[in-house]
Amino acid sequence: MFIESIKYDESKSAFKLTFDDNKTYLVSYEVYEGLKIKKQEEISQETLDKIKREDMFIKAKSIAGNYINYKPRTESEIASRLYKEHIDQDIIDEVIELYKRNHLIDDERYAKELMDSYVYNKKFSRKKTKYKLIQKGLSSSLIDSLIEDLDPDLELENCKFLIEKKYKKLDLNDYKEKSKVYRYLASNGFDSYTISRALGEVYD
């Protein structure tokens, strides 16, 4: 197999290699220099494998970069995205480590920002917050450590806020109305003790 042409692609900051079968691959300057690639020179299978791997690595970096430019992502989300693009696992791991070193991926920072949004802005319960964070692919141990640092009074305050926002004018002497409020709060992750206490304080 021979390389028909070698061109530098400024948009991708990489060399574009076109082979005699019309297939093209991208390689970084470092790989290009390291392999001592030349036009019209026969390429060994070992060298071709290195070129293909480098092409996949550059592709993976581009996909991951575009993905996190849209909004912050977790390691798990990026890994899933690259897996769907048929990127090899070792390259997925390498790209994630690269972005972590450059502080473009930080699960702890992302989890903290999301948690603050959930509990302070959306008034989620701890249980619902944990569920939402797990859906993002964040580890349970990280989530638990962050939730543990929350103000212990916040759960009750959030529960009271939801009652006042949605059900303040209801007559809780009506069993059906009270049951409706209770079910709503329970479905949002609040435990029975917190719900009972919140109802007592709001309607006292």
Domain tally, the chain: 3
Phi, psi for 29 (deg, rounded to 5): -60, -40
- Residues spanned by the domain of 119: 107-148
pLDDT in tens, 128-140: 999 999 999 999 9
Give tens-digit pLDDT for 149-167. Answer: 999 899 999 999 999 888 8
pLDDT at residue number 169: 74
Same domain? 192 vs 158: yes
- The rounded distance, in Å, linking the Cα atoms of 147 and 125 is 10
Average pLDDT over residues 28-43: 87
For the segment 42-88, what is each residue's pLDDT rounded down to a tens digit? 889 999 999 999 999 999 999 999 999 988 899 999 999 999 999 99
Lowest mean pLDDT segment, chosen from 16-25, 125-134, 181-190, 195-204 = 195-204
9 and 61 belong to one structural domain: yes
Percent of the chain with pLDDT over 70: 99
Alpha-carbon dihedral angle through residues 39, 22, 88, 137, given to the nearest 10 degrees: 120
CATH number at residue 58: 1.10.10.10
Task: Please tell me whether residues 22 and 77 are part of one structural domain.
Answer: yes
> The whole model's pTM is what?
0.77
Is the domain of 123 the same as that of 163? no
